[in-house]
Amino acid sequence: MAVWDDVLPETDRKVFEAAGWGRTAGLGERPVLLVVDVNYNFVGDRPEPILDSVKRWRYSCGERGWQGVAAIRQLLDRARALRLPVVYTTSPRRPDGFDLGVWNLKSTRAGDEVDVQGHLGNQIVAEVAPHERDLLVEKKKPSAFFGTPLVSYLVQLRADTLILTGTTTSGCVRASAVDAISYNFRVGIPEQCVWDRGELTHKVNLFDLQQKYCDVLELDEVLAYLDGLPAGLFDRELPVGE
Read off the pLDDT of residues 164-182 as tens digits, 9 standing for 90 and up: 999 999 999 999 999 999 9
Q: What is the predicted pLDDT for the residue at 241? A: 54
Closest CA to 99 of 153, 147, 43, 54: 147
Global pTM? 0.94
Contact 45, 120 (CB under 8 A): yes
> 224 Cβ partners below 8 Å, 6+ apart?
none
**List 61, 172, 193, 214, catalytic entry:** 172
Q: What is the predicted pLDDT for the residue at 59? A: 92
Contact 33, 79 (CB under 8 A): yes
Task: Report whether pLDDT(233) > 90.
Answer: yes
Q: What is the mean pLDDT of the chain?
A: 94
Q: How confident is the model at residue 103 (pLDDT cuts 50, 70, 90)?
A: confident
Report cis status (omega within 30 of 0) of the bond before 11: no
Q: Is residue 172 flagged as an active site residue?
A: yes
Q: What is the predicted pLDDT for the residue at 225? A: 98
Would you identify the CATH topology of the domain 26-227? Rossmann fold (3.40.50)
Q: How confident is the model at residue 105 (pLDDT cuts 50, 70, 90)?
A: confident
Beta bridge pairs of residue 188: 163, 215
